[in-house]
């Protein structure tokens, strides 16, 4: 079976629904189809809060039918192949949908298979992830009786770069309340050399880590998880010969100051050049990559992400294809806040091309934002652009927040109560916020 639509959107997540809704607001009666087999649409930013038992998981879930904009043809199938040369998308049932304009908004693929042993260990026992099962995270935190609490993230790009540490700050609060914090060492192992890429935010977060007495270990690339023996194996991904970055003392392989902040003695094995941190619980962000559909589309950059112009979001390979959201190869953080600023650019450019007016001179500046929860009732809001400049939203002044790079309870209110409401009632309905 063949069908044709003027605009075809692959993906009914934040980006796909918002593009359709804003297009229909601007031009009612537009011929749009969304390809997505999912029954439910999730508000994933609240999953951090679900993992810390301060948000109801069921409230993060709405039916896809309820968020699908009126007037959109919903094709409830998975897209199996993009044939950009012939302006068509093949569906998993063998049908073909052709288009004049294609919007690729597939989101990101969670890929535990990229780390040896992780698929077997994920979401079982004391290994948890808010990215896949935040309810299990809460079970792990609730049942934790002390020892080494390891929080970690992969060397791949991930959605919401701040999420791996937000749950750690909430866990620290919870452990204090439940009386196990004095029997606990919290370790955050990250492949990067800094806690956050925006300087003013990093300064605040270093103070938070100092106050909470957390051991940060930098340049740690997770390569293997031994779920049975509860060991996470890391490659130290800074050249360890350069400048004597590692001092080996005994079997432990203690790391010098370049590699850690607030060093704590935890059990570490060394084997074949890898460092194995023993844990009593581990929360991780699993490795992530572009979905296979995107990787095999012929529309990607060398790293397998959708190759789009970072300002116009137009494909660098096909002028009638646009890409946004998590699968786009853009040098900024993959967040819903980024999508909020990307959508109007894509909508305007497609409308102009339909009217044969060429691409708009309005461009996306790389804006993204990470709401960094630093405890129950506290948050910092990192807003930044492609150049990692701190760019706070002037609207925060209306909430009486003068400096969002510092912890504030009003920012927590924004995260827990205001943003979800804006998301369901405005953003997904095509209202620009």
Specify the DSSP class assigned to residue 225.
E
Q: Would you say 80 and 293 are in contact if contact means Cβ atoms under 8 Å apart?
A: yes
Q: In this structure, what is the dihedral angle of CA atoms 327, 330, 332, 335, given to the nearest 10 degrees?
A: -30
CA angle 163, 135, 328 (to 5 degrees): 40
Two tokens, residue 166:
């937000």
Strands (E), 145-245: 147-152, 184-189, 215-217, 220-226, 231-236
Closest C-alpha to 217, from 152, 165, 157, 170: 152
What does the radius of gyration of the chain's CA atoms come to, in whole angstroms? 22
C-alpha pair distances (Å), 292 with each of 108, 194, 200, 369, 396: 10, 31, 37, 27, 39
Strands (E), 131-219: 147-152, 184-189, 215-217
**Phi-psi domain of 283 (left: phi exceeds 0; alpha: psi -120 through 50; beta: other):** beta
Catalytic choice (128, 245, 289, 370): 370
Closest C-alpha to 223, from 116, 113, 110, 112: 116
Examine the residue annotation and report whether 160 is marked as an active-site residue of this protein.
yes
Closest C-alpha to 260, from 209, 211, 217, 205: 217
β-bridge partners, 147 = 184
Catalytic choice (128, 160, 245, 289): 160
- The H-or-E segment that residue 421 falls in is helix 419-425
Residue 197, number of CB atoms within 10 A of its CB: 15
SS3 content of the chain, % helix, strand, coil (to 5): 30, 30, 40
Positions annotated as catalytic residues are 160, 370
């Amino acid at each position: 079976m063949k069908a044709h639509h003027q605009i075809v959107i692959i993906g009914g997540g934040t980006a796909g629904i918002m593009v359709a809704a804003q297009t229909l607001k601007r031009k009612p009666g537009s011929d749009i189809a969304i390809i997505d087999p999912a029954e439910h649409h999730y508000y994933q930013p609240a999953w951090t809060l679900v993992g810390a038992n301060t948000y109801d998981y069921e409230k993060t879930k709405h039916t896809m039918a309820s968020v699908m904009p009126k007037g959109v043809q919903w094709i409830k199938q998975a897209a199996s192949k993009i044939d950009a040369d012939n302006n068509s998308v093949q569906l998993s049932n063998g049908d073909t949908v052709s288009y004049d304009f294609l919007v690729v908004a597939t989101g990101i693929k969670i890929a535990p298979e990229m780390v040896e042993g992780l698929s077997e260990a994920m979401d079982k026992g004391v290994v948890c992830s808010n990215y896949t099962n935040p309810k299990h995270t809460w079970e792990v935190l609730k049942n934790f009786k002390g020892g080494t609490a390891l929080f970690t993230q992969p060397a791949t790009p991930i959605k919401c770069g701040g999420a791996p540490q937000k749950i750690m700050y909430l866990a620290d609060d919870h452990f204090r309340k439940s009386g196990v914090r004095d029997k606990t060492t919290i370790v955050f192992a990250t492949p990067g050399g800094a806690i956050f890429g925006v300087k003013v935010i990093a300064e605040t977060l270093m103070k938070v880590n100092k106050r909470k007495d957390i051991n940060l270990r930098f340049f740690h690339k997770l390569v293997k998880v031994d779920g049975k023996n509860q060991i996470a194996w890391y490659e130290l991904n800074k050249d360890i010969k350069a400048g004597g970055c590692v001092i080996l003392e005994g079997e432990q392989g203690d790391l010098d100051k370049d590699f850690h902040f607030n060093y704590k003695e935890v059990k570490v094995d060394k084997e074949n050049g890898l460092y194995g941190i023993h844990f009593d619980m581990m929360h991780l962000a699993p490795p992530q990559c572009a979905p296979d559909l995107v990787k095999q589309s012929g529309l990607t950059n060398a790293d397998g992400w959708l190759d789009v112009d970072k300002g116009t979001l137009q494909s660098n390979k096909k002028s009638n294809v646009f890409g946004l959201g998590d699968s786009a190869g853009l040098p900024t953080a993959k967040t819903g806040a980024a999508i909020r600023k990307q959508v109007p650019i894509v909508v305007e450019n497609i409308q102009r091309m339909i009217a044969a007016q060429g691409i708009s001179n309005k461009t996306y500046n790389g804006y993204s934002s990470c709401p960094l929860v630093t405890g129950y009732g506290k948050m910092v809001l990192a807003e930044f652009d492609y150049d990692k400049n701190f760019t706070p939203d002037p609207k925060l002044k209306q909430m009486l927040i003068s400096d969002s790079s510092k912890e504030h309870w009003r920012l927590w209110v924004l995260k827990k109560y205001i943003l979800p409401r804006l998301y369901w009632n405005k953003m997904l309905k095509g209202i620009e916020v």
